[in-house]
């Protein structure tokens, strides 16, 4: 990634050259962009947005340690046969606060988590425990005590945790964040000092007996699993970047590669015959240069991934941790998926982003402006392709990033399809719960303070965590041979559109099964792969040719009865309907429609034709948005007495200036958000003789003055103009029955 100052210079130069003409400024002076009704990010208790009922009463861990159930479901040992579904975000426990302030803040934060329905969090420990230490890998005692307190308060409130033992710091007394890629590469390459540092961190954390619970961390059943090292697999693709990797690390890589070659080949002559080269000695071969067969490079990195995972797993078992573990959440390549499968990593973890920024929210930073629906949900689908038939899948980071203009699409896309596939947990990165609105600069990821993302998270709770979208009753397995991995290890799988249609798993026949698995409805041999672009913090799959193969698979799915006779799926027309027929994606129109008994919603562009869902009809909209309705009393919409209509539009920060195509940030701003206003016309059948009231809700759930609507022949005709609302625009509207 280029330095931020370079990004700024590029943006300024482009502007001077006229390449960024017609800048777009977002100001509350325009009726199109207005400050929302957002008095506080803290949800009002008892309001229609209070999702406390979705958060199970504590303590977390009361059903025993997390285990793998049949068909790779996540379960608790003392509640077999009951799949677990977790949803959460990070907990800001590591900030430089005094203990009493942190604990007061955490009490509020955990209360807010429950109000928003969350029951899961990710705790990264290799920095928080060691900031200010005077000795490498020796935690600060006060930080350790704070960590124990956070685990306890989460546990008491029914909030489960995952621990990330390593990320960018490894407990050194000096800040080694800038050296992060070298640390990761040394870890993959087996550097003894780096591995010893990680092991000492793991011992400190897992052996810590929490004074607030009396339980050692390694035995705490509220911890669902441990992740050994976040985004470790990213480093492999950074080796050739001289800005981010040192000469020392490249020398280590070359030495390790030569050792690998010497084990593989009987002699340098044997190597030359296979490669058609004329090396005199192994010392002439360098990993980052020369014409090395791609399959050899791929096999080397697979060897490194498997050996490193074996080191991690054996280390925590020796320490005494007996729970589930996970590794390799960054790359979607086959090597890392195969390594997880072969080395018995019990949880498949992935990070999944649409429009991940390059250059962050700084002048010159860029965010692509493509539609996730228009890309057939690719950012979600390629993550789904990582799922194995015998293990749970957990999304350790997900975000449809600000300031992509289709931000609202994620109200439906990620939660609906994750429920269809039966994912076990989703963690939003970062901070979907915010107990206050910060005055600092804007963020690309701050879900708790960006109105559009707040709606996305609300629907995540309904569609995914509550389970409004049914899990697919069918499964297609993509069978992947060892030889296919050998030839394609550093590529990703194609045909990800199949995961839009029914249950989907990647299956490695040579890998051990960790749970009892039913026979798949259809098995297809892997044949289509994707290359992917890699960046300092993200990767992105490129398009792949596979339309003919996809059509063939859809035909087989119809013959097998996976897709019913009335299913509308037709890849040639850009239509993908799930086997449950609850989800329909029409990517050429950028329409995603979700229709379930308790929630209905659709993504529509300005001026879209009327769209009939189930009970709800959207007749017109003057703004691109995700529009729909969800029951909040747990009943089906047809019987519900309390529902929330949502009109989720785009958000921008007041004063930010973007290039004409909206990709490039030309001027920064504060964190005061604006939302796009519009007019929508809807119709919806009402029982109770139409005796309902429609209240605009502030973003934290306060009822405002009701909006009148017409009721005729059992149908409510509703017109909402968000720019005309007295307290400012809002995406939420409560439709509630009047008491007799």
Per-residue pLDDT tens digits for 469-524: 999 999 999 999 999 999 999 999 999 999 999 999 999 999 999 999 999 999 99
What angle do the packed helices 294-319 and 192-206 form, to 10 degrees? 40
Sheet of 393-400: strands edge to edge?
324-326, 223-227, 160-164, 120-124, 86-90, 425-428, 393-400, 348-354
| Interatomic CA distance for residues 195 and 190, integer angstroms | 7
pLDDT at 301: 98
Q: How many CB atoms lie within 10 A of CB 665?
A: 28
pLDDT at 103: 86
In three-state secondary structure terms, 249 is helix
Please state the rounded mean pLDDT for residues 679-694.
Answer: 97
Give the pLDDT confidence of 226-258 residue by residue, as tens digits: 999 999 999 999 898 888 899 999 999 999 999
- Tokens 């993908």 correspond to what residue? 576
The torsion angles phi and psi of 196, rounded to 5 degrees, stand at -65, -40
Query: Candidates 3.90.226.10, 3.40.190.80, 3.20.20.80, 3.40.50.970; correct CATH number of 61-236+305-346?
Result: 3.20.20.80
In three-state secondary structure terms, 120 is strand
pLDDT higher than 90, residue 689: yes
pLDDT at 1: 39
pLDDT at 439: 64
pLDDT at 4: 40
Residue 716 burial (CB < 10 Å; 0-12/13-18/19+)?
Answer: middle
First to last CA, the chain: 62
Segments in 560-685 forming alpha helices (H) = none
Q: Does the pTM of the predicted model rise above 0.85?
A: yes
In three-state secondary structure terms, 53 is helix
Q: Which residues contact 259 (CB under 8 A, 6 or more apart)?
A: none
Phi-psi region of 590 (alpha: psi -120 to 50; beta: other; left: phi over 0): left
pLDDT higher than 70, residue 529: yes
Element (H, E) at 719: strand 715-721
Burial code (b: 16+ CB inside 10 Å, e: under 16) for 157-168 equals: bbbbbbbbbbbb
Burial code (b: 16+ CB inside 10 Å, e: under 16) for 51-79 equals: beebbeebebbebebbbbbebbbbbbeee
pLDDT higher than 90, residue 194: yes
Please state the rounded mean pLDDT for residues 516-542.
Answer: 88
Contact 330, 231 (CB under 8 A): yes
pLDDT higher than 50, residue 12: no
Distance (Å) of CA 89 to CA 118, 395, 399, 438: 8, 11, 11, 18
pLDDT at 240: 84
- In the chain, what percentage of residues exceed pLDDT 90? 84
pLDDT higher than 50, residue 15: no
């Amino acid at each position: 990634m280029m330095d931020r100052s370079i990004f700024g210079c590029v943006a300024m130069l482009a502007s001077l050259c006229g390449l960024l003409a017609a800048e777009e400024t977002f100001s509350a002076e325009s009726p199109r962009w207005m400050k929302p009704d957002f008095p506080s990010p803290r949800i009002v208790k008892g309001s229609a947005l209070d999702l406390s009922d979705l958060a199970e009463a504590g303590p977390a861990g009361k059903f025993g340690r997390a285990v793998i159930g049949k068909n790779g479901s996540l379960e608790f040992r003392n509640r077999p046969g009951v799949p677990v579904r977790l949803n959460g975000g990070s907990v800001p426990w590591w900030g430089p606060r005094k203990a009493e302030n942190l604990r007061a803040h955490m009490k509020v934060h955990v209360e807010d988590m429950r109000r928003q329905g969350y029951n899961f969090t990710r705790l990264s420990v290799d920095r928080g425990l060691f900031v200010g230490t005077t000795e490498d890998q020796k935690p600060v005692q006060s930080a350790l005590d704070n960590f124990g307190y956070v685990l306890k308060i989460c546990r008491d409130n029914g909030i489960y945790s995952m621990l990330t033992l390593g990320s960018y710091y490894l407990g050194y007394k000096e800040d080694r964040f800038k050296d992060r890629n070298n640390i990761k590469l040394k870890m993959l390459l087996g550097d003894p000092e780096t591995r010893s540092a990680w092991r000492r961190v793991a011992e400190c954390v897992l052996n810590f007996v929490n004074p607030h619970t009396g339980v050692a961390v390694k035995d705490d059943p509220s911890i669902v699993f441990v992740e050994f090292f976040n985004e470790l697999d990213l480093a492999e693709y950074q080796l050739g970047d001289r800005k981010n990797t040192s000469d020392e690390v490249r020398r280590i890589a070359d030495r390790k590669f030569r050792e690998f070659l010497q084990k593989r080949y009987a002699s340098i002559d044997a190597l030359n015959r296979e490669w058609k080269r004329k090396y005199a000695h192994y010392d002439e071969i360098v990993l980052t240069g020369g014409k090395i067969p791609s399959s050899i490079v791929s096999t080397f990195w697979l060897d490194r991934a498997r050996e490193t995972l074996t080191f991690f797993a054996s280390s925590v078992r020796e320490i005494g941790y007996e729970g589930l573990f996970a590794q390799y959440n960054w790359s979607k390549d086959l090597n890392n998926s195969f390594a997880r499968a072969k080395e018995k990593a019990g949880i498949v973890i992935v990070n999944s982003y649409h429009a991940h920024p390059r250059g962050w929210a700084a002048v010159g930073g860029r965010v692509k402006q493509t539609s996730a629906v228009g890309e057939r949900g690719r950012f979600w689908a390629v993550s789904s392709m990582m799922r194995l038939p015998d293990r749970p899948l957990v999304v350790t980071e997900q975000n449809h990033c600000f300031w992509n203009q289709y931000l609202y699409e994620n109200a439906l896309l990620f939660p609906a399809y994750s429920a269809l596939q039966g994912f076990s947990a989703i963690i939003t990165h970062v901070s979907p719960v915010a107990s206050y609105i910060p005055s600092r600069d804007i963020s690309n990821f701050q879900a708790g303070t960006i109105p559009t993302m707040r709606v996305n998270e609300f629907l995540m709770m309904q569609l995914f965590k509550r389970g409004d979208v049914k899990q697919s009753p069918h499964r297609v397995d993509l069978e992947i041979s060892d030889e296919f991995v050998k030839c394609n290890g550093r590529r990703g799988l194609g045909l990800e559109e199949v995961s839009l249609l029914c249950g989907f798993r990647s299956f490695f026949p040579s890998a051990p099964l960790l749970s009892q698995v039913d026979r798949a409805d259809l098995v297809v041999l892997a044949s289509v792969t994707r290359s992917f672009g890699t960046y300092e913090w993200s990767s992105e799959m490129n398009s792949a040719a596979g339309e003919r193969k996809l059509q063939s698979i859809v035909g087989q799915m119809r013959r097998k009865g996976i897709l019913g006779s009335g299913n509308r799926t037709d890849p040639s027309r850009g239509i993908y309907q799930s086997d449950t027929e609850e989800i329909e994606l029409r990517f050429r129109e950028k329409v995603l429609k979700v229709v379930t008994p308790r929630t209905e919603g659709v993504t529509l562009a300005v001026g879209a034709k009327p769209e009939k869902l189930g009970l709800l009809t959207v007749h017109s909209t003057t703004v691109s948005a995700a529009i729909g309705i969800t029951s909040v009393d747990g009943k089906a919409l047809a019987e519900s007495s309390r529902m929330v209509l949502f009109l989720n539009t785009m958000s921008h920060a007041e004063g930010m200036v973007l290039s004409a195509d909206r990709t490039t940030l030309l001027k920064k701003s504060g964190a005061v958000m604006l939302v796009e206003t519009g007019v929508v016309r809807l119709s919806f059948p009402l029982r109770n003789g139409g005796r309902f009231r429609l209240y605009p809700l502030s973003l934290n759930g306060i009822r405002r003055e009701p909006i009148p609507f017409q009721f005729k022949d059992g149908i409510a005709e509703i017109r909402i103009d968000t720019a005309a609302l007295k307290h400012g625009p809002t995406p939420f509207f409560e439709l509630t029955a009047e008491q007799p």
